[in-house]
């Protein structure tokens, strides 16, 4: 695998543009429209790493005025998916989320930042369950949520 995937190369092209992060995020949400509902903003992308933020807005709140548990899950899945897409050799492999185990550690009463990261290098095999850890932090940099998202990765036929 080359040092930079096509998605990471696209990220770098967008980053050079005015509002590049915003444009890149819009493109991600165009490809996977469901994620657009929480209005995420991709902060960083590289092979093995993705981070993004969701603003603390009423549209992502629960009944007590904090960021909804499922909005946190959605942000975690967005980061994990974008990172995996940027990391897995997409010419030879494909992926799909298979499961998610989450822990809610605190109410989220601020913007929330997610970080998905895996250890590299990674040897891609014909079939595997890749567990992607994702951590969410509030603006005080306190860990408020963790997820282990299992991605089912297989070779393309």
Q: What is the DSSP string of 15-53?
A: HTSTTHHHHHHHHHHHHSGGGGGG--EEEEEETTEEEEE
Computed over every residue of the chain, the mean pLDDT equals 94
Q: How much of the chain, in percent, has pLDDT values that exceed 70? A: 98
Q: What is the pLDDT of residue 157?
A: 81
pTM greater than 0.75: yes
Q: Is the pLDDT of residue 46 over 80?
A: yes
Q: What is the pLDDT of residue 48?
A: 96
Q: What is the pLDDT of residue 22?
A: 95
Q: What is the pLDDT of residue 5?
A: 86
Q: What are the pLDDT digits (tens) for 90-111?
A: 889 999 999 999 999 999 999 9
Q: What is the pLDDT of residue 2?
A: 47
Q: What are the pLDDT digits (tens) for 61-74?
A: 999 999 999 999 99
Q: Where are the alpha helices (DSSP H) in 68-150?
A: 69-87
Q: Which of 36, 44, 39 is nearest to 15 (CA)?
A: 44
């Amino acid at each position: 695998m080359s040092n930079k995937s096509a998605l990471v190369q696209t990220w770098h092209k967008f980053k050079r543009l005015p509002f590049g992060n915003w444009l890149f995020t819009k493109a991600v949400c165009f490809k996977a429209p469901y994620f657009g509902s929480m209005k995420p903003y991709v902060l960083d992308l590289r092979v093995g790493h993705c981070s993004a933020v969701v603003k603390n807005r009423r549209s992502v709140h629960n009944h007590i005025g904090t960021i909804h548990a499922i909005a946190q899950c959605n942000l975690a899945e967005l980061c994990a998916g974008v990172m995996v897409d940027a990391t897995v050799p997409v010419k030879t492999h494909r992926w799909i989320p298979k499961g998610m185990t989450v822990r809610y550690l605190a109410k989220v009463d601020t913007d929330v930042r997610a970080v998905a990261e895996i250890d590299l290098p990674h040897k891609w095999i014909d079939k595997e369950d890749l567990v992607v850890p994702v951590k969410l932090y509030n603006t005080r940099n306190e860990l408020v949520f963790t997820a282990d998202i299992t991605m089912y990765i297989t070779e393309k036929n």
